[in-house]
Amino acid sequence: MNRVEGRVKVTGLATYAAEYPAENVAYAYPVQAQIAKGRVKRIDVAQALELPGVLAVLSCEDPPRVAEDADPELALFQRRDVAYRGQFVAAVVADTYENARAAAAAVRVDYDPDDHDVRLSADHPGLYRPDVVNPGFPTDTAKGDVEAGLAQAATTVDVTYETPVLHNNPMEPHAALAFWDAEGRLLVYDTAQGASGSRAAIAKTLGLPPDRVRVVSRHVGGGFGAKGTTRPQAVLAALAAREVRRPVKIALTRHQMFDVTGYRTPTIQRVRIGADAEGRLTALEHVAYEQTSTLLEFAEQTAVVGRVMYATPNLRTAHRLVRLDVSTPSWMRAPGECPGMYALESAMDELAYAAGLDPVELRVRNDPETEPEGGLPFSSRNLVGCLREGARRFGWERRDPAPGIRREGEWLVGTGVAASTYPARRMPCQAVATVRDGDFLVQVAAADIGTGARTALTRIAAGALGVAPDRVHVELGDSDLPRAPVAGGSMGTASWGSAVVRACEELRRDGREGRADTTEEIKRDAELARHAFGAQFAEVRVSSVTGEVRVSRLLGVFAAGHIVDAKLARSQFLGGMTMGMGMALMEETPIDEEFGGFLHRDLAQYHVPVCADARHVEAVWLEEHDDALNPMGSKGIGEIGIVGTAAAIGNAVFHATGHRVRELPITPAKILAPRF
């Protein structure tokens, strides 16, 4: 199908959070901390209040009312402590955006600074073991004796990989528009990946019953996890609107987004693997070191991929966290699995070379029959099929295994492979299906963040009702609709679609209306290991003169259950793989150790791939039927495309040059470093 909302998007008629009309609207603009740690001594707003159009200044000098148990990142202006550079310490409300911005610059903040610490290291004295890692996995797991397994191995690798801070950078900036009505009910147009969750978070922050808050997010211009949890701009709009008693709009600048909308934590990962003479693993250890803030704990599940991927009798995974004077990291496309598979799949490549085995064959030999950690049966697992089909399509058999020998003029040419995986989850969801004027209306508080959720749910509903898709209208993006989980974790379609199917089935039985809640159905799910799998193949050309890396071919082959819509699926796979290319070669946000905060703060410095970088990217999938998942038999596809891509490209760079870069991104300077 073509996108249901395609016409309104390309003609500019789709309305995003900052674009909703409002009479007598005011604008809020934040004032950000200029230190990384310390206290606010005094905020002088006198000059700001004298400027044209200024209505109010919110700050810790007269804190607005919020709930005592509010999330520390959302409890704006409640304390004088500064936890990170860029934290909101005040905000100006004025009649125009320009006046608010000018007045914010006139606010004077005096600080009592303290020494800060923003550097992650594997030997940091503040490292600790979190209770769980996102979204609730055990922090550490152990099976067998890793040391004994390594001692008996014929070949071992012991390697450390590093990934930097990465920022989500969705196209649409974080924005919100807030209204309070005469009865004290709050309406917020928000850039949210889940209207139901955003309503709950805003209501909790403000100490309101959820039924007194409504969140609308009809169209969302990307998120990649940055809009998966409520961000400060939504709360600021609500607080400001309550203060000035008129609608208030806020749209963060790109610079501000780098500070307060989350990011992918940097990681340091040590991977130790042993294999016997036949290339079968005797031991695997994966330990990840990450950072969080002093405000809130977020522990990314980086090492959990080792619990899923390869058969071994001895397995240990662990996570260690340190609280630094930084903003809180959060979800970014495939949190945990993405950086974790970069390290694991790079280490598997190194093991293959050390053992003299083909990298595809090494992975095939170690494909497990059941989940390696707990022994659960897989609902379906077709990683070997992805590797074999990818090798066939890519022409892998023509590859010379020796690194650093294929040259075309100044260009060194190499190929690499990596596996990918992502959990196939679903969460409880509600939906309503009704007959309206001879057609069908399906309502669910799902979010379309650019993935095509409206289109996918239209197809799912049409199939369940046995009618043409043009007879189905899907309404979503509103917390007043039946409750739905976040568009994240590659579980949106599976969760929403399950409820939609059940509501449509009920409608067919009732003839007028169908209501569904999948909570009890999900509780009855059999205990299985549910995952999508894939394999990425990359060909790179590396300039021997400049160190420039060009990805000439990128292929992904996936086994992700039933594909609901081929056009949508291809776009998601290609988008994820292109994002993985950025992770491999260009994306990073350096941290300023002297002053705190981030050094790259816009898209002039934070580089992402463009069309010229993505020369030939291809995504295909295997036909896979998995009836144990959900009524559609589908697995999430929004994230698996990014998971193995960086490793495949890094492995290809090694094959091209004979030089292993273990710290992302792989820049020309790192390619040329061995010469100097």
At 261-304, the pLDDT tens digits run 999 999 999 999 999 999 999 999 999 999 999 999 999 999 99
Q: Is the pLDDT of residue 207 over 70?
A: yes
Q: Are 534 and 415 within one domain? A: yes
* Token reading at 140: 């550490």
* pLDDT (average), residues 72-88: 97
Cα-Cα end-to-end distance for the chain: 54
d(CA 266, CA 652): 23
Residue whose pair of structure tokens reads 């000035």 in the numeric block: 244
Q: Are 576 and 651 within one domain? A: yes
Band (636; pLDDT cuts 50, 70, 90)? very high
- Taking CA atoms, 597 is separated from 83, 84, 100, in Å, by 11, 7, 24
* Token reading at 596: 């705190």
At 520-576, the pLDDT tens digits run 999 999 999 999 999 999 999 999 999 999 999 999 999 999 999 999 999 999 999
Residue whose pair of structure tokens reads 């039924």 in the numeric block: 211
Q: Are 95 and 135 within one domain? A: no
Contact 464, 504 (CB under 8 A): yes
Q: Note down the domain range covering 211.
A: 20-115+169-260
Q: How many domains does the chain have?
A: 4
* pLDDT (average), residues 223-236: 98
Q: Are 418 and 343 within one domain? A: no
Cα 405–410–416 angle (5° rounding)?
Answer: 45
Band (673; pLDDT cuts 50, 70, 90)? confident
Cα torsion 298, 302, 303, 306: sign: positive
Contact 31, 91 (CB under 8 A): yes
Could you tell me the CATH number of the domain that includes residue 453?
Answer: 3.30.365.10
Q: Are 177 and 100 within one domain? A: yes
d(CA 469, CA 460): 9
Would you call the peptide bond into 135 cis, given omega within 30 degrees of 0 as the criterion?
A: yes
Claim: this prediction has a pTM higher than 0.75 = yes
Percent of the chain with pLDDT over 90: 98
Q: Is the pLDDT of residue 165 over 90?
A: yes
Q: What is the DSSP string of 186-235?
A: EEEEE--S-HHHHHHHHHHHHT--GGGEEEE-S-----TTTTSS--HHHH
Q: Are 245 and 343 within one domain? A: no
Is 12 within the bounds of a domain? Answer: no
Q: Is the pLDDT of residue 676 over 70?
A: no
* Parallel, antiparallel or unpaired: strands 38-44 and 281-293: unpaired
User: Which sequence positions are flagged as catalytic?
Assistant: 639
Q: Are 671 and 556 within one domain? A: yes
The edge-to-edge listing of strands for the beta sheet with 155-163 is 141-143, 315-324, 281-293, 267-275, 155-163
Residue whose pair of structure tokens reads 């001594």 in the numeric block: 41
At 648-668, the pLDDT tens digits run 999 999 999 999 999 999 999
Q: Are 102 and 152 within one domain? A: no
Q: Is the pLDDT of residue 252 over 90?
A: yes
Q: Are 182 and 253 within one domain? A: yes
Is 357 within the bounds of a domain? Answer: yes
Is 84 within the bounds of a domain? Answer: yes
* Token reading at 319: 């996570």
Q: Are 326 and 398 within one domain? A: no
Amino acid at 358: D
Is 279 within the bounds of a domain? Answer: yes
Would you call the peptide bond into 403 cis, given omega within 30 degrees of 0 as the criterion?
A: no
Is 10 within the bounds of a domain? Answer: no
Is 5 within the bounds of a domain? Answer: no
Contacts of 128 (CB under 8 A, 6+ apart): 320, 321, 322
Give residue 21's pLDDT.
Answer: 95
Is 13 within the bounds of a domain? Answer: no
Q: Across the chain, which distance is largest between two alpha carbons, in Å?
A: 78
Give residue 553's pLDDT.
Answer: 98
Would you call the peptide bond into 377 cis, given omega within 30 degrees of 0 as the criterion?
A: no
Give residue 674's pLDDT.
Answer: 80
Residue 532 phi/psi, 5-degree rounding, is -90, 155
Q: Which of 237, 260, 283 is a domain's end point?
A: 260
* Parallel, antiparallel or unpaired: strands 248-251 and 175-180: antiparallel
CA atoms within 13 A on the CB side of 71: 19
Q: Which of 523, 551, 580 is a domain's end point?
A: 523
Assign 448 to helix, strand or coil: coil
At 466-478, the pLDDT tens digits run 999 999 999 999 9
Q: Are 158 and 98 within one domain? A: no
Q: What is the mean pLDDT of the chain?
A: 97
Nearest to 546 by CA among 671, 674, 406, 676: 671
* Token reading at 444: 């669910």
- Taking CA atoms, 570 is separated from 77, 382, 565, 621, in Å, by 44, 19, 9, 9
At 52-68, the pLDDT tens digits run 999 999 999 999 999 99
* Parallel, antiparallel or unpaired: strands 141-143 and 267-275: unpaired
Q: Which of 523, 540, 555 is a domain's end point?
A: 523
* pLDDT (average), residues 408-430: 98
Q: Are 324 and 402 within one domain? A: no
Cα 97–166–579 angle (5° rounding)?
Answer: 100
Is 223 within the bounds of a domain? Answer: yes
